[in-house]
């Protein structure tokens, strides 16, 4: 999705209407920077054709997007690293039928790991549940360490990157995103999330799509 302040319009007259992109600095009539930015936006990632949390892109800069997320529901358990998989079998087991009703729940494409504090010492791993499932109608978990939780949604700054997400890479991306957000005068919340879209056992590393998200206190286009 191309984020712009103005829409390009061409009319059969001598007048021209120019567009200004918030993701680049050089907004001349033809800009190599603009061309490269367009190619970057059209980059193809291999992602499963499954449901993801719903969001609207409000702004796109050279480093990140600002999105408004609708509420969604997750199943989660404690984890130990942003790029780790500790606890994944427990939350995956819930949707595969290891719950109070032995009910299999349709898969979505997104696995989150979340750090809740600035030191990134408190972690959880999460699977997003289908939007058709109301939290009150979901089966209970079979394990005390697995829980169901509603996420209220809201504004988030999001940095996309491809490749295998190692712990060092994820933390580097988080620092870059937080620095960019602060430089714009926005107020990021503590912690962050790593969103992983692909099964690492079935996807070549260069085709993997990953995102680092930081929730924002507020956001306005004004």
Confidence (pLDDT) at 48: 59
Percentage of the chain lying above the pLDDT 70 cut: 77
Q: How many CA atoms within 13 Å lie on the side-chain side of 89?
A: 1
Q: Does the structure show a pLDDT above 70 at 188?
A: yes
- Report CA torsion sign: 158, 49, 150, 89: negative
CA distance 54 to 76: 19
The model carries a pTM of 0.79
pLDDT the model gives residue 199 = 76
pLDDT for 33 equals: 55
Question: Which pLDDT band holds residue 30 (cuts at 50, 70, 90)?
Answer: low
Q: What is the pLDDT of residues 166-181, one digit of tens each?
A: 999 999 999 999 999 9
Domain 53-221 has CATH 3.20.80.10: yes
| pLDDT band per the 50, 70, 90 thresholds, residue 25 | low
Confidence of residue 5 (pLDDT cuts 50, 70, 90): very low
Is the per-residue pLDDT at 187 higher than 90? yes
Question: What is the per-residue pLDDT for 31?
Answer: 57
Domain residue ranges of the chain, discontinuous segments joined by +: 53-221
pLDDT in tens, 45-55: 445 567 889 99
């Amino acid at each position: 999705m191309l984020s712009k302040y103005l829409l390009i319009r061409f009319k059969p007259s001598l007048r021209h209407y120019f567009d200004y992109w918030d993701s680049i600095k050089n907004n001349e009539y033809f800009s190599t920077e603009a061309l490269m930015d367009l190619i970057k936006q059209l980059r193809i990632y291999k992602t499963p054709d499954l449901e993801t949390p719903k969001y609207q892109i409000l702004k796109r800069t050279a480093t990140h997007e600002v999105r408004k997320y609708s509420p969604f529901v997750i199943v989660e358990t404690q984890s130990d690293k942003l790029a780790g998989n500790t606890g994944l079998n427990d939350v995956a087991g819930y949707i595969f039928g290891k719950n109070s009703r032995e009910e299999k729940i349709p898969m979505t494409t997104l696995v989150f790991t979340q750090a809740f504090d600035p030191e990134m010492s408190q972690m959880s791993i999460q699977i997003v549940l289908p939007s058709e499932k109301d939290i009150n109608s979901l089966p209970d978990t079979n394990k005390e360490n697995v829980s169901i939780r509603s996420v209220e949604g809201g504004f988030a700054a999001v940095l996309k990157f491809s490749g295998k997400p190692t712990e060092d890479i994820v933390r580097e991306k988080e620092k870059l995103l937080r620095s960019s957000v602060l430089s714009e005068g926005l107020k990021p919340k503590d912690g962050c999330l790593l969103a992983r879209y692909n099964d690492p056992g079935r996807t070549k590393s260069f085709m993997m799509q990953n995102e680092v998200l930081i929730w924002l206190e507020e956001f306005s286009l004004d």
